[in-house]
């Protein structure tokens, strides 16, 4: 179950009260500026402050739909040996100066020693709305219970404060499952991995918030659940099941669902699944504001014989409604040696063939994040070999991808980095998370990610890098149609 793997590994509750840093708002420090040359974009890199001694992971990023310079970054931080809470940073000037929130723990949106959270994800809507999706855990020591929630922290002042927590799903477990490691009850249930999107269009469902997550059971059943909020993230509808599976059928595969909203209000959901004994990426579409979904179809058949661990998917939509999807998957059955590939819809809605982002290199590629700058898809990912790790960004071209741009580099071998495989992390590895963030505006591509620590005596760093680019011109003014089926294929 999820409670025996991800949550117990990442949410470590203290058995006694502890003092948690208050996390007062703070400006970020700059990590350096790199001028562009030889036609390359200028890269500006900033290290964001975290409370002293904490270890950040799982960053995500959003841009205000009406102000391209207003960005929001989130991450979780591990307080050594104790607990995990979350942070948000915000900027109004495209990333030159960032302000940080206090630590955010459970559903009360404070740094209380009884509240903890993981799996941060952020989305911005109109009228100053910012939603901070989270998997929260609140400890009730007097009752001996741990209350787990999937939901959203709600800000109506552009992330300055969070005044509410909207709950989409909730389960209760004995607190000892997390404090002393007692076995969960036979009817125990668990939660995992929320993902979030807001309809920022001017259509009839504008302002709706969409949330997807996994709800699992002690007998191995998995439900991929979806819920809608029509009141700006304060309350959520009764969940519907997008998919059902079992731990045995998934065999190590995580759903890791993604959501996006097209300019016409269509909601797209993608997730990892198994069909006919083979891992696939499924795509479902809702045209009625999330009330129902149709056309659940495979859009990428993944390698049958390769490991199912660490398959990560990222989804993006363009301003004309084109869809881009990228994923990483291992090539070998017993080794984590993933590559990243992508598919993009054309203006008529048909899917392209899968194309690797770095077709002439065999290094490990993982944790992709994608976003459209106008009609051009950009993808960022980690690339590791036996001696070093890089973060690269690659822009799509008509029949593939351009030359990778090295955004950052560290003398840290791939064996030192753990992500996205929490149960298989070694004691010598550093956990960076299951995803990174990327958004694109007319003038820049912005990526938030974790700079891995070179050794166990140092913490990771939360980093923002901006690739300063010119305006993007849409390749066509043709209105997009709904994506049509193309023959799904794997990629070597």
pLDDT of residue 175: 95
pLDDT of residue 38: 53
Nearest to 216 by CA among 176, 243, 180: 243
- The domain that holds 174 is classified in CATH as 2.120.10.10
Query: Residue 374 CA to chain centroid, in angstroms?
Result: 21
Q: Are 133 and 120 in contact (CB under 8 A)?
A: yes
Q: Is residue 27 part of a domain?
A: yes
SS (H, E, C) 249-315: HHCCCCCCCEEEECCCCCEEEEEEEEECCEEEEEEEEECCCCCCCEEEEEEEECCCCCCCCCCEEEE
Residue 481 in this model has a pLDDT that exceeds 60: no
Residue 272 in this model has a pLDDT that exceeds 80: yes
Residue 268 in this model has a pLDDT that exceeds 60: yes
Residue 456 in this model has a pLDDT that exceeds 80: no
Q: Is residue 12 part of a domain?
A: yes
Helix%, strand%, coil% for the chain, nearest 5: 5, 50, 45
Average pLDDT of the chain to the nearest whole number? 88
Nearest to 432 by CA among 423, 419, 415: 419
The C-alpha atoms of residue 115 and residue 129 are separated, in whole angstroms, by 24
The mean pLDDT of 114-131, rounded to a whole number, is: 97
The C-alpha atoms of residue 326 and residue 346 are separated, in whole angstroms, by 15
Residue 410 in this model has a pLDDT that exceeds 90: yes
Q: Is residue 354 part of a domain?
A: yes
Distances 329 to 173, 193, 256, 373, 464 between C-alpha atoms, Å: 33, 19, 13, 25, 25
Q: Are 97 and 115 in contact (CB under 8 A)?
A: no
pLDDT of residue 239: 98
The C-alpha atoms of residue 135 and residue 170 are separated, in whole angstroms, by 10
pLDDT of residue 420: 73
pLDDT tens across 368-396, in order? 999 999 999 999 999 999 999 999 999 99
Q: Is residue 475 part of a domain?
A: no
Q: Is 235 exposed, middle or buried (0-12, 13-18, 19+ CB in 10 A)?
A: middle
Confidence label for 488 from pLDDT (cuts 50, 70 and 90):
very low
Nearest to 470 by CA among 399, 374, 394: 374
pLDDT tens across 19-36, in order? 333 334 444 444 454 545
Q: Are 228 and 248 in contact (CB under 8 A)?
A: no
pLDDT of residue 478: 33
Residue 297 in this model has a pLDDT that exceeds 70: yes
Residue 427 in this model has a pLDDT that exceeds 80: no
pLDDT of residue 426: 72
pLDDT tens across 36-50, in order? 555 578 999 999 999
Distances 22 to 46, 90, 101, 187 between C-alpha atoms, Å: 23, 18, 10, 37
The mean pLDDT of 110-132, rounded to a whole number, is: 95
Q: Is residue 47 part of a domain?
A: yes
Nearest to 299 by CA among 335, 326, 319: 326
Q: Are 381 and 368 in contact (CB under 8 A)?
A: yes
Q: What percent of the chain has pLDDT over 70?
A: 86
Q: Is residue 491 part of a domain?
A: no
Residue 6 in this model has a pLDDT that exceeds 70: no
User: Domain span at residue 182?
Assistant: 2-468
Distances 286 to 6, 205, 239, 268, 482 between C-alpha atoms, Å: 30, 12, 14, 7, 11
The mean pLDDT of 184-192, rounded to a whole number, is: 96
Q: Is residue 483 part of a domain?
A: no
pLDDT of residue 407: 98
The mean pLDDT of 176-180, rounded to a whole number, is: 92
Q: Which helix (H) or strand (E) holds 328?
A: strand 323-330
Q: Is 360 exposed, middle or buried (0-12, 13-18, 19+ CB in 10 A)?
A: exposed
Q: Is residue 458 part of a domain?
A: yes
pLDDT tens across 327-370, in order? 999 999 988 899 999 999 998 889 999 999 999 888 999 999 99
Residue 473 in this model has a pLDDT that exceeds 80: no
pLDDT tens across 57-74, in order? 999 999 999 999 999 999
Q: Which residue has the tokens 């509750």?
A: 13
Q: What percent of the chain has pLDDT over 90?
A: 75
Number of domains in the chain: 1
Residue 487 in this model has a pLDDT that exceeds 60: no
Q: Which helix (H) or strand (E) holds 10?
A: helix 6-10
Nearest to 119 by CA among 150, 89, 140: 150
Residue 471 in this model has a pLDDT that exceeds 80: no
């Amino acid at each position: 179950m999820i409670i025996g793997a991800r949550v117990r590994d990442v949410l470590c509750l203290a058995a006694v009260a502890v003092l948690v840093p208050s996390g007062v708002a703070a400006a970020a420090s700059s990590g350096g500026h790199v001028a562009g040359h030889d036609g390359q974009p200028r890269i500006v890199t900033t290290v964001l402050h975290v409370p002293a001694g904490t270890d950040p992971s799982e960053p995500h990023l959003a841009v205000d739909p009406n102000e391209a310079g207003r960005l929001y970054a989130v991450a979780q931080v591990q307080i050594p040996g104790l607990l995990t809470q979350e942070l948000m940073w915000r900027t109004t000037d495209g990333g030159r100066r960032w302000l940080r929130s206090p630590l955010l723990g459970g559903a009360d949106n404070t740094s209380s020693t009884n509240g903890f959270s993981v799996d941060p994800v952020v989305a911005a809507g109109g009228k100053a709305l910012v939603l901070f999706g989270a998997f929260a855990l609140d400890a009730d020591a007097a009752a001996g219970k741990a209350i787990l929630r999937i939901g959203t922290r709600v800000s109506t002042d552009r992330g300055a404060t969070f005044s509410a927590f909207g709950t989409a799903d909730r389960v209760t477990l004995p607190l000892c499952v997390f404090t002393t490691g007692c076995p969960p009850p036979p009817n125990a249930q668990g939660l995992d991995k929320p993902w979030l999107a807001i309809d920022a269009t001017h259509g009839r469902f504008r302002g709706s918030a969409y949330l997807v997550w996994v709800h699992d059971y002690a007998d191995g059943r998995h439900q991929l659940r979806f819920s809608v909020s029509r009141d700006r993230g304060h309350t959520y509808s009764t969940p519907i099941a997008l998919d059902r599976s079992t731990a045995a059928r998934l065999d190590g595969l995580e759903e890791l669902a993604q959501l996006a909203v097209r300019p016409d209000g269509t909601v797209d959901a993608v997730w990892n699944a198994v069909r006919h004994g083979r891992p696939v990426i499924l795509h479902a579409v809702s045209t009625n504001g999330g009330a129902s979904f149709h056309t659940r179809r495979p859009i990428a058949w993944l390698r049958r014989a390769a490991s199912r661990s660490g398959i990560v998917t990222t989804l993006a939509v363009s301003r004309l409604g084109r869809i881009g999807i990228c994923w990483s998957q291992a090539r070998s059955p017993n080794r984590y040696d993933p590559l990243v590939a992508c598919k993009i819809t054309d203006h008529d809605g048909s899917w392209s063939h899968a194309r690797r982002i770095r077709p002439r290199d065999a290094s490990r590629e993982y944790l992709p994040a994608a976003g459209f700058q106008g009609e051009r898809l950009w993808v960022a990912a980690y690339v590791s070999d036996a001696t070093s790790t890089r973060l690269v960004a690659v822009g799509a071209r008509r029949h593939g991808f351009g030359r990778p741009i090295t955004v950052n580099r560290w003398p840290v071998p791939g064996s030192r980095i753990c992500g996205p495989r929490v149960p298989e992390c070694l004691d010598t590895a550093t956990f960076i998370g299951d995803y990174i963030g990327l958004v694109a505006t007319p003038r820049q591509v912005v990526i938030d990610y974790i700079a891995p620590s070179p050794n166990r005596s140092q913490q990771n760093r939360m980093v923002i890098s901006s690739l300063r680019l010119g305006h993007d011109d849409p390749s066509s003014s043709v209105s997009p149609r709904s994506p049509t089926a193309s023959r799904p294929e794997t990629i070597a």
